[in-house]
Amino acid sequence: MTIAALATAPQRSAIGVIRISGNGAKDVIKHVFRPKYGKISVRRLTLGYLLSASGERLDEVLCAVFEAPNSYTGEDMAELYCHGSPGVLEGALRSIFAAGARQALPGEFTKRAFLNGKLDLSQAEAVIELIDSESEAEAVNAAKHLGGTFGQKIKSIRGELISLEAHFFALIDYPDEDIPEFSGSEAEKILDRAEKELDALCRTFQRGSLLREGIPCAIAGSVNAGKSSLLNALSGFERSIVTDIPGTTRDIVEQRIRIGGVLLNLRDTAGLRDSKDRVESIGIDRARKAIDESEIILLVFDGSREFESDDEALISKYSGNNKVICVINKQDIEVIIDKDRIKSLFDTVLELSAVTGEGLQELIDEIGRRIKPEKSDEALVTNPRYIECMTRALECIKRAKDSCIRGVGFDGVTLDVEEAARILGEITGEETSARIVENIFARFCVGK
């Protein structure tokens, strides 16, 4: 089995390293990495692109491949040196899992290294401690997570699969009993439901990681509309807590704040205008990209002046965009702008003064309302190990459903159902075979 994991800390940093080990390491690299020039050569760094599961470029990275036994673990290995953005790294891991690797358990690389004779005994002792402490932390973590909606959902999906298995086995193991026949369409329905539920859970992963990394929120507007003061006002506002040191990513100033328990990634962008200046143009392009990637766009107008051509350009580009919250700033000075026109073009228009703080509470409330999870009981999946398990289980369920439709015997279909239940059991830490047997006796009247 090929394993993969982030080798550096899971936080924003210059470089994030992903490590892959196992027979299939080279195969995985073939799927997730495309060299920029030429081919990958062993034990040399190759520049290239990291690809998502659907083949899109995620990042420009360096890749190193090591062949067994000349590697840390003694197996075929690969390392990817990515930019240290948690979003990129998570995407990379997902892509790697999709290519056939699974999440490494705590200390698993070191364990493999040890078993392949790559570590000495004193190192090994350190590993034991590491495995112990990490798995305990993981267990605490998992227990917390599994107490909630997510755990219940997984248990309920798994329960359905186990019931399906139990029904099949009750029929098989007790052919003489009056047990209702097992219909293919019935099985298909159950599998279909399980697939949909699991799929929905998988999709929350995206949102889960957004919540963890911060929801991107761009502050856009023409030059001197008061974007930076709005950023500062929001950052310094008593109800919003500044959680991070501002990092300057090229021309975009980022600030993480927390509103109603949700992390928000505020990004102050360059003023948008047509510019002949090459350097400024580059900044503006980046600003546009940042705005497009955002979930919330605070479109700021300077209330103290008439519309200018740059404002008109913004209006035509962003009117009708439901991500936009329109802000008419500088209420502390005389308001000249045609407010009615703005209100006719945008659904949400707020008036405020970044300088005095007037109207800021309303803006915060509006943002809070937008970033609140759709449903309060929504289970969010944030752990890549869970997503990897769910993806594997989903594959099994799809295969089982497909076999059902094609009319394959239930002896084959149930193998995939059982495998799916077993994989989901890895999340909840429950054994499967015994549960199936219990389920048979609980539900069916069987015996001599």
Q: Contact positions toward another protein, by CB under 8 A?
A: 1, 105-108, 111, 114-115, 121, 124-125, 127-128, 131-132, 135, 165-166, 169, 171-178, 406-412, 415, 418, 431, 433-434, 436-437, 440-441, 445-448
Residue 179 CA: distances (Å) to CA of 122, 183, 188 = 59, 12, 19
- Tell me which H or E stretch contains 402: helix 384-406
Cβ proximity to another protein: between 227 and 435 the closer is 435
The H or E element containing residue 429 is none
What is d(CA 133, CA 147) in angstroms, rounded to the nearest whole number? 21
Which residue, among 194, 33, 19, has the nearest Cα to 107 in the 3D structure? 19
Nearer Cβ to another protein, position 188 or 244? 188
Shortest approach of another protein to residue 420 CB, angstroms? 13
Q: Closest separation between CB of residue 410 and another protein, Å?
A: 6
> C-beta of 73: minimal distance to another protein in Å?
14
Which residues have C-beta within 8 Å of that of residue 134, sequence separation ≥ 6? Answer: 106, 107
Type of residue found at 361:
Q
Q: How far is the CB of 25 from another protein (least distance, A)?
A: 17
First-last CA distance in the chain:
44
> Do 87 and 126 contact (CB within 8 A), yes or no?
no
Shortest Å distance, C-beta 315 to another protein: 56
- Give me the least distance between CB of 402 and another protein, in Å please: 11
Nearer to another protein, 1 or 9 (CB): 1
Rounded CA-CA distance 112/1 in Å is: 11
Residue 103 structure tokens: 């999440």
- Name the token pair of 281: 């143009």
Specify the residue, 135 or 304, whose C-beta has the smaller distance to another protein: 135
Closest CB to another protein among residues 158, 227: 158
Q: What angle do CA 372, 375, 378 make, to 5 degrees?
A: 105
Min. distance of Cβ 382 from another protein in angstroms? 22
- Residue owning tokens 């705005």: 291
CB atoms near residue 338 (< 10 Å): 12
Please say which residue, 60 or 134, places its beta carbon nearer to another protein.
Answer: 134
Q: Find out whether 419 and 428 touch, Cβ atoms under 8 Å.
A: no
Residue 291: both structure tokens together: 């705005």
**Does 35 sit behind a cis peptide bond, omega within 30 degrees of 0 on the bond before it?**
no
Measured from the CB atom, the residue of 295 and 395 that comes closer to another protein is 395
Closest CB 413 distance from another protein, rounded Å: 9
Q: Which is nearer to another protein, 272 or 421 (CB)?
A: 421
